[in-house]
Structure 1
Amino acid sequence: MIFKKALFFVITIFCCCLQRINAQNQFDQDQFLCRILDEDSKTPIFYATVKLLGTNRGVIADDEGQFRLPSTLDVSGKISLSSIGYRTKEIVIGKLLSNQINIIYLKPNVEELDAVTLVSGRKKKRRFTARQIIKKALQNIVLNYPKKPFSYIAYYRDYQQPVDDSYRVLSNQKKSTQYINLNESIIEVFDAGFGTDYLTNKQNQTLLYSYHRNETFAQDSGLAIPYDNVKEKYLESVIISPLGGNELNVLNITNAIRNHDRMSFSFIDVLDVDFLKNHFFSLQGIRYLDDTPIYEINFVAEDAASGALHFAKGKIFIAKENFAIHKLNYEVFKQKKKNALYRVALEYAPIKGKMYLNYITFNNKFQVNTDYYFRIENIFLDLDNMFFDVYFNRKLDKKTITPISNKFKITYTYKKHKVRIKDVLTFDDHLRIVIDQEQLFSIPDFNFKNFSEDIKLKIRNISDIDGNVINEIPKVTLNQYREIFVQEVFPGKKIKDTTKTMNKYAPLSTSEINLFKDKDKYWVNTPLKKHTGH
């Protein structure tokens, strides 16, 4: 009977896993899976814009150049694919295949630095310096970005990614884990306009249309740190404002262009005031978005701003014609470290003469204790025969139990009388520590009545078969990601009083879902899982 129950339990788990795999495969088959690559280098093009021609709707490819399209789209329709520095390409949806990843190449479109000039006046040509271009771009924010209300519908996600191989090793996984605790949503963000405070203005709100914890990817509750946990999730000596609220709230605040007149993050600080004085700039050349020439400018933080412990660098892309900031990439490192402490990438796109958010992604590195460590699972005290049976969560390396006097210690009562250990016996699944009864009973004031509460066992410096020392809790280094990818912008749209708005300071999962009649127009752009051989 026990065997039948165990067999039923195994079959049930297998069927559940199979259903999950089949559901993911069916989900993939109902969509066109695509990847955008550089035609010359064959490397992914980060965050390319994919638009449904004839509409204002679309999707943003991820940092692997990947995106999904619903198979319900009109196959006679077209999509356009664009990215700064590449020629825009149009593709008929009907030519995409539904049973494989469609590889799409974009051709680079870059102008060398020698050709970078700007006409000033009728005849005179002169080259603007990088610092002059930045200064003009900051002055023109009030002209190039919307001061009137608007909204956008977007795909939002947050998740963790291991920085190194430590999580895979500790969790005994054969393959590296790319996404952990992936949460996905369709949201609508209402903005009262540039110049209004994101936190305090009542018209600056977010509506949640869907929320989904994607369990086809790895889930680890131990890594889901509370959003206001300053000590664990944020960084010393740098500022990310504000240290609180949910992940979406943190992401919106770190938009240095939208919040150009207030603190965003180190070492951009207040963009209007500190960006120029905190960095060195160098003009690299011109890239094109369709026929629009855009300056590409590199920068690094001055030592006076970043201090001796940190190093910061980035790129900013500014339109040659109206000095609108199209894209800003920023990353901060601890000196001599290859992995960034945090990264920000954001892009704006022109719609009806104004610049609106296209995407923003922000991630920061943090360390967290993991549950994957060698520890005691249970201890049983046999009062008749006076021994402890100790069970562990992993297989014990029996060679590490000696010398016994250094590895095991038993004390009695608050006075901590030392109790002699007669023997330590090893079994397949546990240890038995045998107490010297004669010595125990000779201890002054020995009282059998409270014995089980007064006797204590301590074990140290033994290891499991993989060499992990007992109770040594390893730390896992992760990146916490938050990302918004805009699918449609609505200039002039205001929020209605009847909607259920998101609490900016509570987890997104606790927000109420709003009814949304146009939900089929927008889709969750779930990351494509890596497959063997691809």
Structure 2
Amino acid sequence: MRIFTIRGLILFFLICIPIILSAQTSEFLRAKVLDQETGDPVVFATVSIKGKANGVITNMDGSFRLPIALREAGESIIISFMGYEKKEFALQKLSPNDINIIRLSPATISLSEAVVSAKRKRSGLSARTIVRKAISGIPNNYPANEFAAIGYYRDYQIKDDNYVNLNEAILEVVDKGFHTNDYADSKFRIYDYINNINFMRDAEGERKYDYKKFKKFIDKAYLDSYGGNEFTILRVHDAIRNYNVNSYDFVNILENDLLNNHYFKKENDIQNDNEVLYVISFKQSFLKYLVHGKLFIAKNNFAIHKMEYKLYDRIRKVENGQVDKQGIDNVAIFKVLTEYKSKYGKMYPNYISFFNIFEVGQLPEFIVKEVLLDGPKGCFIVKFNRIVEKESASKKGNYDIRFEDKKIEIDRIKVLETEVEVYPKLTDKDFRNLIYKMDAAQSRKFDLMKLLSAKVTDVRNLEGAKVDEMKYETYRQFREFFVQEIKVNGSGLKDTLFMKKDIPIFENQYIVKPDNFNEYWMNTPLKKISN
């Protein structure tokens, strides 16, 4: 086992990353999984290495990559996704130089006599009853003992169809079991981590959330930054794992609130491998929000295989008028996808994806540069950085000038190009007294802003921009963890060099590389989603 600290490796990474990334492109083969009928990407399909414990999950464009060594070793892959026929594929058939296309066909449900019998027996179950049984069955259907999940983690933003600020890691989650508190008791190891400099970096998007100055925030929602640790943020949004603690609105405490906060409906069953699943859709409408979601629940034991949850802004519409798969044209505030897979009779995590939008404040283009007191003219001069629009600049109500916290009444206004002369309604004696007090304060090095203040509102420039108006750019943020291997008996590592949960993953964290580190890999996406 090799143990390092990230701080000690900074210089090494700066020198070596370009070489490493260049080499990686020839060490991996790439493919895309598409729907046979529609040609759409099959997102988050499971790609397993046949006969081995590990695998990978497809990206949002259906792509994935595998080490070329697996092809050279003659390995095969098995691709599966809910509602599709499972497909086995020899890696020798894939080109090492191209993006290979693999197509999956929608599955046709074929029920055995046992399943038919179970269907008849449970045909009278309502959607709400099925969900209630699924929630009450969590303690039995999910592991109570320690297990480890090793996988590929990434966080990134999407801007103009491009991945931005892509950070990647291979992580190990040591989970003490579903009877424990995940945030308090689960431990995480970092096997490897990179800020992928082959992808565009955007400093604005990398800020921490700031709800005081609104430099970066989520409109109509609040997200704790957890010290900037994006993986911690991701973990707390697994409502199944955190079923007995608060996760996110409006699931809240899943075992108590999911049923109370939503309306449920049974949809058509789907096939998942050799199992038939109930599909339960649910929704809710609030004053400011809309909610749509789905649960995929096993018929034989009511285990939750997958949960989809999407919260929309009820007021804000998508700019281009597009609708999503639910036929909704409202802006999505956040979306959580969580999938578990059965292994040795228990449900273990397969992947989790958490998406949210956020706003980044941009500095105003049109501002007040300064406000001066002109004694000879007997006025205040407001200086702007752009030529002002005369009508809005001529309105007395757009200027609030105060001396010793008392508002000064305005007599008249004279608009020039980038300056506005504001003449106060003061006698000559009062104006001279104001100047005297300002001079005296300046000589004593007193803060003049405490004596004289000026606020300008609703003045526009020739382009129509309002003075000091902040502009906001919307980003789409993703955090995702795709499991590559489950160890049902817990971690094989004995060290205690775990991730600190309250600081960013890449700041002063330990890197712990096990001896079999080369069995795991980063499923780095294509740079542009539409490629």
**TM range, smaller chain:** 0.7 to 0.9
SS in 1 for 2:184: coil
Q: Aligned Cα RMSD in Å?
A: 4.5
Match of 2:167 among 172, 178, 183: 183
Distance 1:422 1:283 in 2: 69
1:44-123 → structure 2 map (5 Å cutoff): 44-75=41-72, 76-111=74-109, 119=117
Distance 2:116 2:129 in 1: 12
Contact preservation (8 Å) 1:160, 1:478: yes
Matches within 5 A, 1:317-332: 317-332=296-311
Residue-pair matches, total:
478
User: What are the Cα deviations for residues 362-407 of structure 1, in whole angstroms up to 9, with x where unaligned?
Assistant: 1223323124x4257999x9xxxxxx9x997xxx6x6868999789
- Structure 2: which amino acid aligns with 1:44? P
Other-structure match for 2:234: 251
2:35 is aligned, of 34, 38, 43, to 38
Secondary structure at 2:256 match in 1: helix
Percent identical pairs in the alignment equals: 33
Would you say 1:359 and 2:351 are equivalent positions? yes
| Other structure's SS at 1:492 match | coil
**CA separation in 1, counterparts of 2:17 and 2:466?**
36
**SS class of match (2:182):** coil
Q: CA deviation at 1:504?
A: 1.3
Give me the whole-angstrom Cα distance separating, in 2, the residues matched to 1:126 and 1:376.
67
Match of 1:341 in 2: 333
Distance change >3 Å, CA 283–CA 333, structure 1 → 2 = same
Shift of 1:205: 0.6
Q: What is the identity, as a one-letter code, of the residue corresponding to 1:216? A: N
Gapped regions of structure 2 (runs ≥ 5): 1-15, 317-329, 373-380, 422-430
Equivalent residues of 1:20, 1:216 under 8 A apart:
no
Greater alpha carbon shift after TM alignment, 205-214 vs 271-280: 271-280
- CA distance 1:118–1:268, shift in 2 (3 Å): farther
Match of 1:519 in 2: 517
Q: Which amino acid aligns with 1:143?
A: N
Q: Secondary structure at the match of 2:190?
A: strand
Alpha-carbon offset, residue 243 of structure 1: 6.6
For 1:216, the equivalent position in structure 2 comes to: 198
Contact kept in structure 1, 2:357 and 2:475, CA below 8 Å: yes
**Distance in 2 of aligned mates of 1:508 and 1:53:** 32
Aligned partner of 1:315 in structure 2 is 294
Matched residue SS, 1:199: helix
Greater alpha carbon shift after TM alignment, 458-467 vs 190-199: 458-467
Unaligned runs of 5+ residues in structure 1 are 1-18, 163-175, 382-387, 426-430, 435-441
Q: Provide closer, same or farther for how the CA distance between residues 117 and 209 of structure 1 changes in structure 2, counting only shifts above 3 A.
A: closer
Q: Is structure 2 residue 457 aligned with structure 1 residue 473?
A: no
Deviation for aligned residue 1:119: 2.4
Counterpart residue type for residue 208 of structure 1: I
Specify whether residues 471 and 215 from structure 1 end up closer, same or farther in structure 2 by C-alpha distance, changes over 3 A only: farther
Q: TM (normalized to structure 2)?
A: 0.74
Say if 1:205 and 1:20 are closer, same or farther in 2 by CA, change over 3 A: closer
Structure-2 residue corresponding to 1:271 = 254
Q: Is the 8 A contact 1:117 1:126 kept in 2?
A: no
Secondary structure of the corresponding residue to residue 469 of structure 2 = coil
Point out the more displaced range, 186-195 or 462-471: 462-471
Alignment match, 1:293? 276
Amino acid at match of 1:222: E
Q: Distance in 2 between matches of 1:531 and 1:478?
A: 15
For 1:259 and 1:325, how far apart are their aligned partners in 2? 13
Normalising by structure 1, what TM-score? 0.74
SS state of the match for residue 171, structure 2?
strand
Pick from 88, 102, 123: which aligns with 1:127? 123
Report deviation, 1:108: 0.4
